[in-house]
Structure 1
Amino acid sequence: MRLLQTALCSVFFLVGCAAPSGVQSGLTLRLIHINDTHSHFDPSPAAFKAGNGQPVYTYIGGHPRLLTKAEQLRQQARQDAIPALFLHGGDAFKGSAYFELFEQRINIDILNRMNIDAMALGNHEFDIGLAKLADFVDKVNFPVLAANVDTSNEPLLAKRANLTPYQLFALENNQLTAVESVSAAAGRELVAVLGLALEDMRAISPDTGALVFDSEVASAQRTVDSLQQQGVKHIIALTHLGHQRDLALAAAVNGIDAIVGGHSHSLLGDFRHWYLGQQRPYAEVVTNPDGVGRTCVVQAGQFAQAVGQAELSFNRRGQLTFCTGGNTLLAGRDYFSSARRSENSRIDTQTQQATERFVANLSGTAVVDEDVRLRAVLDNHYLPAVRAAYGEIISVTHAEIPHVRLPGSGGSDQHGSKLAGHIADAMLWYVNTDDVQHLMKKPVQLALIGAGNIRAPLPAGEVREGNIRLEVLPFNTPLSVLSIKGSELSALLTGIISQSVVAGAHTGKYPYVAGIRYIAKQTGPASVQLTQLDIQQNGQWQPLEHDARYSLVTTSYLADGNDGWQLLQQLQAAQTDRVDMILRQQQPALYPVTKVEAKADSSGKPSFSARYQNLQALPCDSKGVDCKVAAQAFIAYLQARPELWRQQRQPTVTLQQ
């Protein structure tokens, strides 16, 4: 067997094999990486399974802890005489109270202190407009990469030196230094990092101006070919596509040595001991179309909770011969017996050290202290304003209300997110209140919300308005009410869920519901069948009628057809009975929609926009206008239901995989 393996390795240069004599001692490279940090500068609530099987509550991650660990990994690489790069897979924007108050400015400040080498362009970088994205691009001290984005016709982003297809790094004394060109490397060995953004960005992030998003595969191959023709042997793709697309990219493009990804929030590996589930293995290796090249694919979760490190080895021909590594979850030293994490539930001093040792020995885990200087920057310059913005207490919960995107992920059961169900309930309740119905005069029967509309779980303890408006539902999300046939609703749910169950897929589109319930059974790698679809009428569940029309409420973002919900746009392409709701002086105001248009750019990629009867667009930036209607609906619901958290909500979503 050993002789056979040696023979195979000598012929095919299989990853994990020792390369043949004469081509063995090539470059070894370490990739330190993060993605989907979403402005989570502070640690996130988490829990781990203690030796007795009971949960212990703590905090993980945050940028000060992340900086400590990244610097430790860099220092270790220097000691090992191995060059290293620190890469960010995109989506630094959105997701926390810090971002809602300080937007791109705090990301410029904090990320510039992280010693990042390059970042991919994520979809949430477009959330606050192109002008603020341009400000971010201009002021960060690392390049933002996107090889498949044509900026030439968009004045706000054209000719931005820091927004570039790729970055070259030259090797000298086991260190990599950014250089402007191959000639500037003066014969030194080069590593190229190219960026890729979502080719369907216009259908996910409407505010993309005149940017053109080209094919991920074609752009990647074209860029790789150009780099190789210039003599670059080592090429890394830094992407914000989602893990499933990364695997497909590796199988479709020749010449990429590793893909460092983002977008799907994939914490690759087994983290069930942290109640975070088990995802695909870290550092999967995919064979390229030519049957010779190999690509190592990695990703590192979300919210600055973990850092990944991959080690790549090459032979002298520049071929990948080995790829290994893993994600490390960044644990703290504060442990509590209660999910509220109150001081009186803190683990006592006698068991503190034993607990810390236990945590340090958990697989894929490191106990890491926060960087003192970065912690001080947050505490002194940003945290006071964040605390002041949280407002009044509106509810109290004694347990965390978790949120996951896909049922069965992140330690959840087949019903998935508890929080999403309550938010769907709140939307349905709100549009049926007297104040809204006085204007609408049309009872609403069901609610739909995408998992990605919800950006954070609800921690145990006091719930303030800011928890909802700044963390859980931070988007400007007008509510849309429209009618739909039962058969159309069934097709919509089947399509969205089928897209979501693909291994490694982006699952922000996954639908959570109220007023209806469904059971979806996975029938293939990319297909589901709805074995049950019921609607609640007069307090009773009964099967949905395919030919009947029903009134639904969802967010305007999804009603326009974004994020894979394009069937809704198609149903409104010619005309619609839809009305959108915002708040004026804290009172509901309705705006009829005439139709929803799909407009393609020069590459054929569509974007979607509602056309209103009497105005160009909703006046969300006007004084006295509040477009965070989903958030306000949830706040009002919690205030009206003080007993909510003591009641058991019957699941309305079931995914059988």
Structure 2
Amino acid sequence: MTYSLYLAHINDTHSHFEPTLVHFEVTINQEVYQVDAYCGGYARFATAVKQHQDLAKQNNSSSLFLHAGDSFQGSLYFSQFKGEANAHLLNLMSVDAMTIGNHEFDLGNAPVSKFVDQVNFPCLAGNMDLSQEDQQKHLPLAPNNNLYYYNNELAIANYLLKPLGDQQLAIVGITHDQMHNIGCPDADCHFLNAIKTTQATVKHLKQQGVNHIIILSHLGYDGDIALAKAVTGISVIVGGHSHTLTGDFKHLGLASTGNSGQWQNECLILQAGKHAESIGLSCLHFDKNGKVIKLEGGTQFLIDDNWQAKQNGQMVCNETRRLISDYLATAPGLLKCSDDQQISEIINQQYRPVVEQMKSQVVTMLSQPLRHSRMPNKELPNGSEIAPLICQGFYQASAAKHPTDFALHNAGGVRVSLKAGPLSKADICGRLLPFEITLMSYLIKGEDLAMAIEGAINNATNNGLMGTGDGSFPYFFKLRYSYQAHKPLGQRVSQIQLEEEQGWQALQPQRVYRGVSSAYTLAGKEGYDALLNSWDHHDLELSMSDSFVAFASSKQYLV
């Protein structure tokens, strides 16, 4: 006997409620064309999911709609409405379950608790251990009835059970077990090993006679592969975090896993891209032992007819456009989809007016472009032209409340380069600094500051350790240094100087300095471990983007 499930899934939507511009490259009759199309968005998602669920009913099959985490952050809609708008719209889309991603924790646990309380679907983090959580603090997580976290009594993840014919289907949520390195959860919130938790939970489920098991994961594609190889008996992993397109999208000019890359240890791995551009729409056929024996469908980019096509920078003629239109109508991975009227009206009437106002609010002018590179290179030997200015904004915000010696920001917290011309509040909050993270002032000894600088650069360059990416590279205001990669660990940073009233002065190892950074960096992420030795922390009650808006507003021309 076989069992079918109509599965819709999304991940890493990052508050992109409206369609996102996607650049495709298609080849027709050996001619290559660039197609720019606005894809996805929550209103189209709602339509596609409803159609998928209707198809399931017509075929007397079960259906599920799953979110694999990172609903928070990423757009003006989050910076203005935090998780409230996300909860409102996801409720209307009839999500069956969502795993909590790392960006849900960017502002600590309280916003997560508020979000979980607002949504009408289960939120899963089966390897999140709340046994030591302070229940007297503001908005603890454990009391939320629809939060499925680690079961300390059974030493497994709490899980959902759904009917699948005459069988039961289990959904287990597993989030990133390095959460304290990549997110900002509260200190009393712990994350257990993803593989060990999954092994114990799958073993328990098998003992209960449950063979059809979906792991709703926020581990990233490589993490999902490792999980599938380590744990036998998983039917499907529906993942997120790495923004991966599972399936074959070479014909659209997009990087993807290829069809063979979706299978590991008889487990099917699915992930649906990023930023609400695309959605997974599949029909899965299982045998009685829980193995997927047939996959129909896959990830789809939801498009409409408002696309543009160019060749060598020139718009194509009408005849060529018709050829491309015919190609797009039948190409795998593309689905023409209309907007759900209710969700479209809510976005337009309740949320978009605030965003449009920000787009019209010009903060300052740029007389020349400002380029952003995470690390110095041949074109930009001093690295980012923007990050030091953002640090200057941090410094201005901190100095207004405390005598401040320096400002520090990590390169990955800056997202785009800027063109010359007007710079709007929307550009700053929605594109340049889209992560809504607060600024923190703190005291630190000179020797610990030196260790933090080296740790961040070592992490960015993988110099003697396995780093987490070049986003950790440090930028400063009122501080300069020399880094020599060939020297032994702990001796690579030298000639550290801070700008004081009497000019540039050498860093004193035992002297105490006041710095300002984002709460993310101060939490010791990505090589900044030495910042954990800081003290006297003060929340400036300003986000990164707030401080830069204030700084840029004070200048008629930023550059």
TM over 0.5: yes
Aligned pair partner of 2:526 in 564, 574, 592 = 564
Q: Where does 1:83-94 land on structure 2 (aligned, <5 Å)?
A: 83-94=62-73
Matches of 1:243 and 1:307, distance apart in 2: 16
Aligned to 2:503: none
SS in 2 for 1:112: helix
Matches of 2:496 and 2:39, distance apart in 1: 47
Aligned-partner residue type, residue 46 of structure 1: V
**CA deviations over 1:182-210 (Å, ceiling 9, x no partner):** xxxxxx31000011122232333334353
SS in 2 for 1:142: coil
Matches of 2:349 and 2:546, distance apart in 1: 32
Aligned-partner residue type, residue 163 of structure 1: L
Q: Contact (CA 8 Å) 1:310, 1:325: kept in 2 or not?
A: yes
Aligned to 1:411: none
Q: Contact (CA 8 Å) 1:311, 1:323: kept in 2 or not?
A: yes
**CA deviations over 1:264-288 (Å, ceiling 9, x no partner):** 222334556766544565762222x
Matches of 1:71 and 1:401, distance apart in 2: 44
Aligned-partner residue type, residue 208 of structure 2: Q
**CA deviations over 1:521-571 (Å, ceiling 9, x no partner):** xxxxxxxxx9989xxxxxxxxxx9754436699943454254432xx22x3
Matches of 2:433 and 2:187, distance apart in 1: 25
Aligned to 2:204: 226
User: How many Å apart are 1:103 and its aligned residue?
Assistant: 2.1
Matches of 2:228 and 2:554, distance apart in 1: 46
Matches of 2:275 and 2:217, distance apart in 1: 17
Tell me the TM-score normalized by structure 1: 0.65
Q: Contact (CA 8 Å) 1:430, 1:436: kept in 2 or not?
A: no
Aligned to 1:424: 387
Aligned-partner residue type, residue 356 of structure 2: R
SS in 1 for 2:307: coil
Aligned to 1:146: 125
Aligned to 1:583: none
SS in 1 for 2:339: coil
User: Residue 551 and residue 246 in structure 1: after superposition, are their counterparts in 2 closer, same or farther (change >3 A)?
Assistant: farther
Q: Where does 1:239-254 land on structure 2 (aligned, <5 Å)?
A: 239-254=217-232
1:618 matched to 2:535? The reply is no
1:160 matched to 2:160? The reply is no
Aligned to 2:356: 387
Q: Contact (CA 8 Å) 1:88, 1:116: kept in 2 or not?
A: yes
Aligned to 1:238: 216
User: Residue 356 and residue 402 in structure 1: after superposition, are their counterparts in 2 closer, same or farther (change >3 A)?
Assistant: farther
User: How many Å apart are 1:639 and its aligned residue?
Assistant: 6.0
Q: Where does 1:346-495 land on structure 2 (aligned, <5 Å)?
A: 355-394=324-363, 421-427=384-390, 449-451=410-412, 453-454=413-414, 463-474=423-434, 475-478=436-439, 492-495=456-459
Matches of 2:531 and 2:423, distance apart in 1: 38
Matches of 1:325 and 1:497, distance apart in 2: 40
Q: Contact (CA 8 Å) 2:364, 2:553: kept in 1 or not?
A: no
Q: Contact (CA 8 Å) 2:387, 2:411: kept in 1 or not?
A: no
1:115 matched to 2:94? The reply is yes
Q: Where does 1:264-343 land on structure 2 (aligned, <5 Å)?
A: 264-269=242-247, 271=249, 276-279=254-257, 284-287=262-265, 294-323=266-295, 325-336=297-308
State which drifts further: 30-39 or 482-491: 482-491
User: Residue 485 and residue 48 in structure 1: after superposition, are their counterparts in 2 closer, same or farther (change >3 A)?
Assistant: same
SS in 2 for 1:378: helix
Q: Contact (CA 8 Å) 1:283, 1:324: kept in 2 or not?
A: no
Matches of 1:272 and 1:460, distance apart in 2: 35
Matches of 1:35 and 1:449, distance apart in 2: 25
Matches of 2:546 and 2:124, distance apart in 1: 34
Aligned pair partner of 2:170 in 187, 192, 206 = 192
Tell me the TM-score normalized by structure 2: 0.75
Aligned-partner residue type, residue 161 of structure 1: N
Q: Contact (CA 8 Å) 1:485, 1:549: kept in 2 or not?
A: no
Aligned to 1:654: none
Aligned-partner residue type, residue 329 of structure 1: F
Q: Contact (CA 8 Å) 2:7, 2:64: kept in 1 or not?
A: yes
Aligned-partner residue type, residue 226 of structure 1: H
User: Residue 207 and residue 314 in structure 1: after superposition, are their counterparts in 2 closer, same or farther (change >3 A)?
Assistant: closer
Matches of 2:553 and 2:226, distance apart in 1: 44
SS in 1 for 2:37: strand
Matches of 1:506 and 1:324, distance apart in 2: 36
SS in 2 for 1:71: helix
Q: Contact (CA 8 Å) 2:107, 2:184: kept in 1 or not?
A: no
Q: Contact (CA 8 Å) 1:314, 1:322: kept in 2 or not?
A: yes
Aligned to 2:17: 41
Q: Contact (CA 8 Å) 1:151, 1:212: kept in 2 or not?
A: yes
**CA deviations over 1:446-466 (Å, ceiling 9, x no partner):** x76343x35688799964112
Matches of 2:316 and 2:261, distance apart in 1: 36
User: Residue 493 and residue 351 in structure 1: after superposition, are their counterparts in 2 closer, same or farther (change >3 A)?
Assistant: same
1:98 matched to 2:77? The reply is yes
**Structure 2 segments unaligned to the other structure (5+ residues):** 149-157, 477-482, 500-514
User: How many Å apart are 1:488 and its aligned residue?
Assistant: 7.6
User: How many Å apart are 1:33 and its aligned residue?
Assistant: 0.9
Q: Contact (CA 8 Å) 2:441, 2:539: kept in 1 or not?
A: no
1:510 matched to 2:479? The reply is no
User: Residue 564 and residue 275 in structure 1: after superposition, are their counterparts in 2 closer, same or farther (change >3 A)?
Assistant: farther
Matches of 2:97 and 2:415, distance apart in 1: 25
User: How many Å apart are 1:641 and its aligned residue?
Assistant: 5.1
SS in 1 for 2:387: helix
1:640 matched to 2:550? The reply is no
User: How many Å apart are 1:402 and its aligned residue?
Assistant: 11
**Structure 1 segments unaligned to the other structure (5+ residues):** 1-24, 173-187, 288-293, 339-344, 408-413, 516-529, 534-543, 574-594, 597-610, 643-657
Aligned-partner residue type, residue 301 of structure 1: G
User: How many Å apart are 1:150 and its aligned residue?
Assistant: 2.7
Q: Contact (CA 8 Å) 1:479, 1:630: kept in 2 or not?
A: no
User: How many Å apart are 1:62 and its aligned residue?
Assistant: 0.8
Q: Contact (CA 8 Å) 2:19, 2:40: kept in 1 or not?
A: yes
Matches of 1:421 and 1:220, distance apart in 2: 42
User: Residue 454 and residue 73 in structure 1: after superposition, are their counterparts in 2 closer, same or farther (change >3 A)?
Assistant: farther
SS in 2 for 1:307: strand
Matches of 1:282 and 1:395, distance apart in 2: 50
Q: Contact (CA 8 Å) 1:282, 1:298: kept in 2 or not?
A: no
**CA deviations over 1:119-146 (Å, ceiling 9, x no partner):** 1011222334544433322332211112
Aligned to 2:4: 28
User: How many Å apart are 1:304 and its aligned residue?
Assistant: 0.8
User: Residue 250 and residue 472 in structure 1: after superposition, are their counterparts in 2 closer, same or farther (change >3 A)?
Assistant: same
State which drifts further: 465-474 or 225-234: 465-474
User: How many Å apart are 1:367 and its aligned residue?
Assistant: 2.5
SS in 2 for 1:77: helix
State which drifts further: 134-143 or 369-378: 134-143
Matches of 1:379 and 1:555, distance apart in 2: 35
Q: Contact (CA 8 Å) 1:247, 1:286: kept in 2 or not?
A: yes
User: How many Å apart are 1:170 and its aligned residue?
Assistant: 1.0
How many percent identity over aligned positions? 29
Matches of 2:450 and 2:497, distance apart in 1: 7
Matches of 2:87 and 2:21, distance apart in 1: 25
Matches of 2:524 and 2:51, distance apart in 1: 41
SS in 1 for 2:240: coil
User: How many Å apart are 1:384 and its aligned residue?
Assistant: 1.7
User: Residue 487 and residue 118 in structure 1: after superposition, are their counterparts in 2 closer, same or farther (change >3 A)?
Assistant: closer
**CA deviations over 1:315-372 (Å, ceiling 9, x no partner):** 333344445653212223223479xxxxxx9999887655543433444222322222
Q: Contact (CA 8 Å) 1:284, 1:296: kept in 2 or not?
A: yes
Aligned to 1:522: none
RMSD: 4.7
User: Residue 513 and residue 281 in structure 1: after superposition, are their counterparts in 2 closer, same or farther (change >3 A)?
Assistant: farther
**CA deviations over 1:609-628 (Å, ceiling 9, x no partner):** xx12xxx53231xxxx5654
